[in-house]
């Protein structure tokens, strides 16, 4: 059980070993498991954090047993009025617990990818920090919690706008490039797809423009991964 009403636990480990073996035989190389952590006055509870971290670690161990690379996704949600500082504290707690469980389950850190949230203020928080402040808070949290053995950190975009997701990732790679023990990249869904979907709207005549929008966002985030993204790219 979750530790507080409204909290969610990631479930579905029953039979996962057999499914992963089947997917591996079919040619799969990666798998992803997502656990969500809400932030509130009494949230998250320690019980919820522990249970979700344990499930993520068990999934990761089963993936590696089947020859798959696990993408481990503990997401601290953006919904709410919490501050950047509060998000940072919760994210640090979650990541510490996740890596403790990964160690307990004997997961090879060199053979996994972490897909975390950025450290952000809640969507309805009155104070919304700058791009550089978000970059600083996020990298500071990761340096405190993520072992250097992890090869890559691929951020989720959550509820961020496409432009902010790119700018924040770029700022991390510009400001901390020489200090990062892992590659910082992106695994954005909404932040890459949403502009294209808004243009397309299921209309055949909009397909070409939607494809251009999708390619544009992919190129912007490729540049952000390299620390080469600029506002000017959004005006081309």
**pLDDT score recorded for residue 119:** 98
Residue 12 has pLDDT above 80, yes or no: no
**21 occurs within a structural domain:** yes
**123 occurs within a structural domain:** yes
97 neighbors 50 (Cβ within 8 angstroms): yes
Domain interval for residue 93: 16-156
Supply the residues annotated as catalytic: 73, 115
**196 occurs within a structural domain:** no
Average pLDDT, the chain: 94
**163 occurs within a structural domain:** no
CA distances from 54 to 19, 60, 78, 103, 186 (A): 19, 10, 22, 11, 24
Q: Domains in the chain: how many in total?
A: 1
**104 occurs within a structural domain:** yes
Condensed to tens digits (0 to 9), the pLDDT of residues 94-141 reads 999 999 999 999 999 999 999 999 999 999 999 999 999 999 999 999
**125 occurs within a structural domain:** yes
**149 occurs within a structural domain:** yes
For 66-103, letters b (16+ CB in 10 Å) and e give bebbbbbbbbbbbebebbbebbbbbbbbbbebbbebbe
**204 occurs within a structural domain:** no
Condensed to tens digits (0 to 9), the pLDDT of residues 53-103 reads 999 999 999 999 999 999 999 999 999 999 999 999 999 999 999 999 999
The pTM assigned to this predicted structure is: 0.93
Residue 76 sits in a domain of what CATH number? Answer: 3.20.20.70
Neighbours of 60 (CB within 10 A): 28
Condensed to tens digits (0 to 9), the pLDDT of residues 166-185 reads 999 999 999 998 899 999 99
């Amino acid at each position: 059980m979750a530790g507080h009403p409204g909290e969610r636990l990631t479930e579905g480990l029953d039979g996962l070993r057999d499914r992963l073996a089947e997917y591996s035989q079919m040619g799969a190389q990666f798998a992803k498991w997502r656990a969500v952590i809400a932030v509130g006055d009494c949230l998250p509870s320690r019980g919820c954090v522990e249970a979700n971290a344990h499930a993520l670690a068990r999934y990761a161990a089963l993936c590696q047993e089947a020859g798959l690379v696990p993408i481990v996704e503990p997401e601290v949600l953006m919904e709410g009025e919490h501050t950047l500082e509060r998000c940072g504290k919760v994210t640090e707690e979650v990541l510490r617990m996740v890596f403790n469980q990964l160690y307990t389950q004997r997961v090879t850190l060199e053979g996994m990818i972490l897909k975390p949230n950025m450290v952000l203020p809640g969507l309805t928080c009155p104070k919304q920090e700058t791009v550089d402040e978000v970059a600083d808070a996020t990298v500071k949290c990761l340096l405190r919690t993520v072992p250097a053995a992890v090869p890559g950190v691929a951020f989720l975009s959550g509820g961020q706008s496409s432009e902010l997701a790119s700018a924040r990732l770029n700022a991390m790679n510009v400001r901390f490039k020489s200090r990062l023990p892992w590659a910082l990249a992106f695994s954005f869904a909404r932040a890459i797809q949403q502009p294209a979907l808004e243009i397309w709207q299921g209309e055949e005549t909009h397909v070409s423009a939607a494809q251009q929008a999708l390619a544009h966002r992919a190129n912007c985030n490729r540049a952000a991964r390299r620390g080469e993204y600029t506002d000017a790219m959004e005006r081309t």
